[in-house]
């Protein structure tokens, strides 16, 4: 993942998690009491949240701008009628290309034609009326990230305008269970997402793939991050103002209090009166606001959680329920994108059959760390 994208995502998650500084110590809640509450309750006050972001019409239109060069792109350059002048070169991290007698020529953001003219102009200082031939032999500066439960997870070059379905085809489609003799989908379409420039796009993958809703089939942009989580995932995600934001195994955090305890408990000044439980798909989520102080002091019973619930502990009260829900879901998506993108960029993409989930975020680290298999 590009440094700019990783940095932007990391900063956004830090803001969302309200953890720009080292996590302060707060009052502790006894884990044993949380895991063995005298009574349990089921969430009944879930409110369905309507997606406030909408798919923009221009997202469905193929980009018309010409391909522009960037670091990592490979070029074949030659001076016409001089066969020995042909050479392969890669645009450096500084956006410059080095060829023949020339110093570094900045071609970042130029089209092939513009790069040719610029190189030709510089070569004219050393040769009489040189004619340059230039061809694009490899693309590495324009990429899309397709990770999670797809057949061939990876980072793919964008050589031409590409829709969501076209990109999914490159990755071999979503993963299915061949062992069971069925076409059962092992990717959780209700929790799949696209991150663009640090923001979660309102794409409903279930509607697109299962129902053929082509209005969801937008064109991707360079550095878009597409992620399909496992449908077998049973963890509960605890985020926000807790000491160790993480994915908690349901066997260890099957109730609200046990989940918070497994995440190290709340930090000092956590606003426990507005703890949120978010349930359901990312595009049609339901949210409940729980006063954890009431549970701590025995005035209310603990809450039973369901697999893939997101528990969010804030540092301040929410003002608008819809914005609060969107903050939680975007924080959740950004957190996964940061670490999964970093692992993919380092060549550590997990095999498609490995379940990926959020786990232990270091206590004093500003950006969360997410690793598979825990």
Q: In the CATH scheme, what architecture does the domain 3-55+233-345 have?
A: Roll (3.10)
Tokens of 271: 């606003």
Q: 293-310: per-residue pLDDT in tens?
A: 999 998 999 999 999 999
Q: 219-229: per-residue pLDDT in tens?
A: 999 889 999 99
Mean pLDDT of the chain: 80
Cα angle 215, 139, 111; round to 5: 85
Return the minimum-mean-pLDDT range out of 264-273, 323-332, 335-344: 335-344
> In this structure, which long-range contacts are made by residues 53-61, counting pairs with CB atoms below 8 Å and at least 24 apart in sequence?
53/200, 53/201, 53/202, 53/326, 54/202, 55/201, 55/202, 55/203, 55/215, 55/216, 55/218, 59/201, 59/218, 59/219, 60/215, 60/217, 60/218, 60/219, 61/219
Tokens of 7: 């940095």
Closest CA to 275 of 241, 299, 226: 241
Q: 19-60: per-residue pLDDT in tens?
A: 333 333 444 444 444 444 446 777 767 888 876 678 899 999
Considering the entire predicted model, what is its pTM?
0.72
> Can 3-55+233-345 and 74-138 be said to share one CATH topology?
no
> In this structure, which long-range contacts are made by residues 19-23, counting pairs with CB atoms below 8 Å and at least 24 apart in sequence?
19/241, 19/245, 19/366, 20/366, 22/363, 22/364, 23/243, 23/267, 23/363, 23/364
Helix (H) or strand (E) holding 210: none
> How much is the average pLDDT of 355-361?
32
CATH superfamily, region 74-138:
wza like domain (3.30.1950.10)
**Is residue 348 predicted with pLDDT exceeding 90?**
no
Beta bridge partners of 302: 40
Return the minimum-mean-pLDDT range out of 6-15, 139-148, 337-346: 6-15
Domains of the chain, residue spans: 3-55+233-345, 74-138, 141-228
- At residue 181, the pLDDT reads 53
- At residue 117, the pLDDT reads 93
Domain 141-228, what fold?
Answer: Outer membrane lipoprotein wza fold like (3.10.560)
> How much is the average pLDDT of 133-138?
90
Local confidence band at 7 (pLDDT 50, 70, 90 cut-offs): low
Q: Between residues 53 and 260, which one has the greater pLDDT?
A: 260
- At residue 231, the pLDDT reads 87
Q: How far apart are alpha carbons 59 and 54 in whole angstroms?
A: 11
- At residue 367, the pLDDT reads 29
- Residues 6 or more apart from 74 whose CB is under 8 A from it? 88, 89, 90, 91, 136, 137, 138, 139, 140
């Amino acid at each position: 993942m590009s440094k700019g994208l990783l940095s932007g995502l990391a900063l956004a998650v830090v803001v969302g998690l309200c953890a720009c500084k080292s996590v302060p110590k707060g009052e502790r809640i006894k884990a044993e009491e949380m895991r063995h509450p005298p009574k349990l309750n089921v969430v009944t006050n879930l409110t369905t949240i309507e997606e406030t972001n909408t798919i923009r019409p221009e997202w469905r239109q193929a980009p018309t701008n010409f391909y522009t060069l960037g670091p990592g792109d490979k070029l074949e350059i030659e001076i016409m009628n001089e066969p020995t002048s042909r050479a392969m070169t890669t645009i450096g991290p500084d956006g410059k290309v080095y060829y023949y007698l020339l110093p570094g020529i900045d071609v970042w953001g130029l089209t092939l034609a513009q790069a040719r003219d610029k190189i030709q102009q510089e070569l004219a200082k050393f040769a009489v009326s040189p004619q340059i031939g230039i061809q694009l032999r490899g693309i590495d500066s324009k990429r899309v990230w397709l990770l999670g439960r797809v057949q061939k997870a990876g980072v793919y070059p964008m050589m031409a305008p590409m829709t969501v379905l076209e990109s999914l085809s490159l990755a071999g489609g979503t993963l299915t269970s061949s062992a069971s003799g069925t076409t059962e989908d092992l990717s959780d379409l209700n929790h799949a997402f696209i991150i663009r420039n640090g923001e979660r796009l309102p794409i409903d993958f279930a509607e697109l793939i299962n129902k053929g809703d082509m209005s969801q089939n937008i064109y991707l942009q360079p550095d878009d991050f597409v992620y399909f989580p496992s449908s077998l995932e049973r963890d509960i995600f605890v985020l926000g103002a807790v000491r160790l934001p993480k994915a908690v195994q349901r066997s260890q955090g099957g109730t609200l209090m046990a989940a918070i305890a497994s995440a190290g408990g709340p930090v000092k000044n956590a606003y426990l009166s507005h703890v949120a439980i978010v349930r359901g798909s990312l595009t049609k989520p339901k949210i409940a606001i729980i006063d954890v102080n009431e549970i701590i002091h025995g005035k209310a019973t603990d809450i039973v959680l369901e697999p893939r619930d997101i528990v969010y502990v804030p540092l301040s009260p929410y003002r608008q329920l819809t914005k609060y829900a969107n903050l939680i879901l975007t924080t959740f998506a950004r957190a996964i994108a940061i670490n999964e993108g970093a692992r993919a960029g380092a060549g550590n993409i997990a095999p498609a059959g490995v379940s990926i989930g959020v786990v232990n975020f270091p206590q004093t680290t500003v950006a969360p760390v997410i690793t598979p298999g825990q």
